[in-house]
Structure 1
């Protein structure tokens, strides 16, 4: 008798060899039941196994589709490259273009919000101070959402830099901040692995058992003033963070 594990193994093999490429639909439950001569419960269990492994996702409309799993390497140098004179892309566009991929940053929401205690502390402000909040999706065209980015900026800095707009910032946020006299100098990152929230799982098209990589970054300018708090979430099998050319030796004492 064909088991759910047998069906899952067959579908997994067909996904691996490209019979079902990323974005394509799996056969319907009825089709799988007919082909394998099994019950709906057996097919449902087989598909759930593939969802848990991060191979497919089930949409409310559109059936069960194969996940995009192309890993994206994000080198630390993407921030430096994004500020190269004449450039028009932000860090995400810069990193994906270097890998030969068509990435773009999609602006979802912009709003003025009151700073909660945690963000106020990171930005060296008082709770309740006004922040500019920008929600962005890092996407590979046409519709592969790889990373969810939430970013907060002190309101007075955001207004002066002209990033308090509902329009996409051509050239990236850091280029606009630099032009307003807030040249970013340092970035401190904390990286953690956790399970996704229900909302994140839906947006990133992963099952509840696929881990996500959660990054929190605080960026400061040359005067050590905090410019930005960014929190980014991506499926852990989609992002590789590369911290290139980090200094390991202490500075040499002079005199």
Structure 2
């Protein structure tokens, strides 16, 4: 594919980054599409290879694109998922087909999916034990999941821990996906979630998180810890999720003030 040289004068990588940013924002390059190859951008803008590379690096740091090596530079999906607090109460009834993530996505016409990555019985760390009110070294069920839009757009990385006996009673110890979500499975056996407390922090991603989320290490993430308890105060779930800050909108409507 050949490109004519741009009439707009671009002298440095910041100016080129601004030009490409504008073309993305105007829809010339859509989410999931590949930017022109470096050699084509060199020809199009009459710039050096290093200048083009630096400009693409700026866009990657801003979260606009993802560099895929031989796969080229892909325009990143920045669709924001609105996640309301009501996602919990809507999945408490047993027998449903969607969990909280899938429910929140469906309300926005998005194909939300949950993929199980790992399930294991482990001895909880001191930090996890303290958060769950368990003796250090207690056996817990650990589930790691990816919350996606479609089949390959990972938006959240989820790490969840459950008391081993509670997990066994609720039938969530297997490696398969929990149809309808964990909350519905817990409620079905009498472990009805009664309260959910969330703590939200922002930070930079770890290298492993950046790889899974397909972001630069300079794109900030939201780290959410949720502790779910039954009415008797027993901890049912400790969940830690990580997501790019520009992909998630946590909404807490109509909270009681008294």
Mapped pair 1:83 → 2:86:
no
CA distance in 2 between partners of 1:85 and 1:113 (Å):
27
Tell me, which stretches of 5 or more residues in structure 2 are unaligned? 1-9
RMSD: 1.2
- Structure 1 unmatched runs, 5+: 250-255
Question: SS of the counterpart of 1:47?
Answer: helix
Matches within 5 A, 1:8-87: 8-84=17-93, 87=96
Aligned match for 1:159, one of 168, 177, 184 = 168
What TM-score, normalized to structure 2? 0.93
Runs of 4+ in 1 over 6 A off after TM superposition: none
Instruction: State the alpha-carbon separation in 2 of the partners of residues 84 and 223 from structure 1.
Output: 19
Distance in 2 (alpha carbons) for counterparts of 1:117 and 1:70: 37
Cα deviation, 1:58-105, whole Å, max 9, x if unaligned, reads 124411101100111100001111224653100001111111111011
| Partner in structure 1 of residue 154 of structure 2 | 145
How many residues align? The count is: 249
- Map Cα deviations across residues 217-248 of structure 1 (whole Å, 9 max, x no partner): 11001111001100000000110110112110
Whole-Å separation in 1 of the counterparts to 2:143 and 2:72? 32
1:202 aligns with 2:204: no
Which one of the candidate residues 79, 102, 105 is aligned to 2:111? 102
Name which of 226, 237, 244 aligns with 1:235: 244
SS at match of 1:159: helix
Distance 1:241 1:188, change over 3 A: same
Kindly provide the CA deviation profile for residues 120-158 of structure 1, in whole angstroms up to 9, marking residues without a partner as x: 111121111111111111100132111111100111111
C-alpha contact 2:93 2:184 (8 A) present in aligned 1: no
Q: In the TM superposition, what are the counterparts of 1:207-222 in structure 2 within 5 Å?
A: 207-222=216-231
TM-score of the superposition, structure 1-length normalised? Answer: 0.94
Distance 1:161 1:140 in 2: 27
Equivalent position to 2:132, from 96, 99, 123: 123
Report deviation, 1:203: 1.3
